[in-house]
Amino acid sequence: MRLSSIFIIAGTFLAAAIASLFAASFAVTMIEENSEIDVRRSLDDQDLTWAEVHADGLRVFLTGTAPSEASRFLAVSSAGSVVDAARVIDRMDVQATKGITPPRFSIEILRNDAGISLIGLIPATTDRDDILEKLEDIAGNGNVVDLLETADYPHPPEWDAALQFGLETLEDLPRSKVSIDAQRVEITAMSDSPDAKRKLEADLARAAPRGLGLVLDISAPRPVITPFSLRFVVDENSARFDSCSADTEAARDQIIAAARAAGMAGKANCTIGLGVPSPNWARAAALSIAALDRIGKGSVTFSDADISLVAAEGTDQSLFDQTVGELETTLPEVFTVHAVLPQTAENGDSGPPEFVVTLSPEGLVHMRGRISDELLRQTAISFARARFGSDVVHNSARIDDSLPRGWAVRVLAGIEALAQLSNGAVTVSPDRIVVRGNTGNSDASAGISRLLSDKLGEASRFTIDVTYQEQLDPVASVPTPEECGAQIEAVQAERKISFEPGSDTIDAGARNALDDIADILKKCGPIRLEIAGHTDSQGREVMNQQLSQARAQSVLNGLRERRVLTSTFTAVGYGETQPIADNGTEEGREANRRIEFRVVLPEPIEETETTLESIEQDVAADPETEADDTASQDEDTPDDEN
Residue 252's pLDDT band (cuts 50, 70, 90): very high
- Written as one string, the DSSP assignment of 224-244 is BPSS-EEEEEE-SS-EEEEE-
Cα–Cα–Cα angle for 258, 264, 269, rounded to 5 degrees: 80
450-475 pLDDT, tens digit each: 888 888 876 678 888 888 876 666 55
Confidence (pTM):
0.34
What digits encode the pLDDT tens for the residues 584-637? Answer: 999 999 999 999 999 888 765 555 555 556 555 655 655 554 444 444 444 444
Tell me the β-bridge partners of 106. Answer: 121, 181
Q: What is the pLDDT of residue 577?
A: 93
Between 29 and 310, the more confident residue is 310
Sign for the CA dihedral angle at 158, 163, 168, 173 comes to positive
Cβ atoms 255, 283 nearer than 8 A: no
Q: Is the predicted pLDDT of residue 27 greater than 70, yes or no?
A: no
pLDDT per residue over 192-201, tens digit each? 777 788 888 8
pLDDT, greater one: 167 or 476: 167
The pLDDT assigned to 639 comes to 41
**Identity of the highest mean pLDDT range in 93-102, 258-267, 344-353, 614-623:** 258-267
Which one, of 443, 317, 450, 300, lies nearest residue 360 by Cα? 300
Distances, alpha carbon 67 to alpha carbons 80, 485, 641, in Å: 20, 90, 143
Cα(123)–Cα(19) distance, integer angstroms: 76
Q: Please return the burial class of 52, using the count of CB atoms within 10 Å of its CB with bins 0-12, 13-18 and 19+.
A: middle
Q: In this model, does residue 323 exceed pLDDT 60?
A: yes
**What's the average model confidence in pLDDT over 172-183?**
89
Amino acid at 10: A
Q: How far is CA 617 from CA 532, 609, 610, 620, 625, in A?
A: 47, 13, 11, 5, 12
Mean pLDDT score across all residues of the chain: 82
d(CA 230, CA 300): 8
Q: Distance between CA 428 and CA 353 in Å, rounded?
A: 8
Strand-pair category, 65-66 with 59-63:
unpaired
Helices (H), 172-316: 194-207, 249-261, 281-295
* Pick from 3-7, 485-489, 566-570, 631-635: least confident: 631-635
Mean pLDDT of 10-28: 54
What's the whole-number mean pLDDT along residues 321-345?
80
Q: What value does the mean pLDDT take over residues 57-71?
A: 83
For 440-455, write each residue's pLDDT tens digit. Answer: 887 888 788 888 888 8
- CB atoms under 10 Å from CB of 584, counted, come to 9
Q: How many residues does the chain have?
A: 642
Residue 376 burial (10 A CB sphere; 0-12, 13-18, 19+): buried
Residue 231, pLDDT above cutoff 60: yes
Span between the terminal Cα atoms of the chain, in Å = 203
DSSP codes of every residue in 90-148: E--EEPPPPPPPPPPPEEEEEEETTEEEEEEEEETTS-HHHHHHHHHHHHTTSEEEEEE
Provide the β-strand partners of residue 194. none
Q: Phi/psi at 366 (nearest 5 deg)?
A: -130, 125
Section 355-368 average pLDDT: 87
Strand order in the sheet with 306-311: 239-243, 229-234, 298-303, 306-311, 336-340
Query: How far is 600 from 420, CA to CA, in rounded Å?
Result: 37
pLDDT, residue 226, reads 82
The candidate with the shortest Cα–Cα distance to 247, out of 231, 224, 218, is: 224
**% residues pLDDT > 70 (the chain):** 85
Which one-letter amino acid corresponds to residue 183? Q
The separation between CA 215 and the C-alpha centre of its own chain, rounded to angstroms, equals: 25
Does the pLDDT at position 368 exceed 80?
no
Q: Highest-confidence range of 276-290, 338-352, 618-632, by mean pLDDT? A: 276-290
Q: What are the Cα distances from residue 106, in Å, to 181, 204, 331? A: 4, 20, 56
How much is the average pLDDT of 553-581? 92
